[in-house]
Amino acid sequence: MNLIDGKAVSAAVRAKVAEETAELKKKGVSVGLAVIIVGDDPASRVYVNNKKKACAEVGFESFEYALPAETTQEELNALVDKLNSDPKVNGILCQLPLPSHLDENEVINRISPAKDVDAFHPANVGHIMIGDYSFLPCTPAGVMELIHSTGVEVKGKNCVVIGRSNIVGKPMAMLLLHEHGTVTITHSRTVDLKSITSRADILVAAVGKANFVKADMIKEGAVVIDVGMNRNEAGKLCGDVDFEDCKEKAGYITPVPGGVGPMTIAMLMRNTLTAAKQQNRIK
> How far apart (Å, rounded) are the C-alpha atoms in residues 131 and 178?
7
**Residues 169, 206: contact at Cβ < 8 Å?**
yes
Residues β-bridged to residue 204: 161, 225
Could you tell me the smallest distance in angstroms from the CB atom of residue 185 to ligand NAP?
Answer: 9
194 is catalytic: no
> How far apart (Å, rounded) are the C-alpha atoms in residues 64 and 107?
16
Q: Among 180, 190, 124, 192, which residue's Cα sits nearest to residue 153?
A: 180
Could you tell me the smallest distance in angstroms from the CB atom of residue 260 to ligand NAP?
Answer: 4
> How far apart (Å, rounded) are the C-alpha atoms in residues 265 and 277?
19
* E strand segments, 85-217: 91-94, 158-162, 182-186, 202-205
Number of residues engaging ligand NAP in binding (CB under 6 A): 25
If the CB atoms of residues 164 and 199 are measured against ligand NAP, the closer one turns out to be 164
Which residue among 7, 16, 26, 51 is the active-site one?
Answer: 51
Which residue among 115, 116, 118, 242 is the active-site one?
Answer: 118
**Residue 192 touching ligand NAP (CB under 6 A):** no
**Residue 193 touching ligand NAP (CB under 6 A):** yes
Residues 158-187 interacting with ligand NAP (rule: CB under 6 A): 162-165, 167-169, 186-187
If the CB atoms of residues 59 and 262 are measured against ligand NAP, the closer one turns out to be 262
If the CB atoms of residues 49 and 188 are measured against ligand NAP, the closer one turns out to be 188
Q: 56 Cβ partners below 8 Å, 6+ apart? A: 62
**Residue 207 touching ligand NAP (CB under 6 A):** yes
278 is catalytic: no
CB atoms within 10 A of CB 172: 28
Of the residues 48, 203, 206, 250, which one makes contact with ligand NAP according to CB under 6 A = 206
Residues 217-276 interacting with ligand NAP (rule: CB under 6 A): 227-230, 260-261, 264
**Residue 95 touching ligand NAP (CB under 6 A):** no
Q: Strand 223-226 and strand 158-162: pairing?
A: unpaired
Residue number of the CB atom closest to ligand NAP: 165
**Residues 171, 128: contact at Cβ < 8 Å?**
yes
**Interface with ligand NAP (CB under 6 A):** 139, 162-165, 167-169, 186-190, 193, 206-209, 227-230, 260-261, 264
By annotation, the residues acting in catalysis are 51, 95, 118
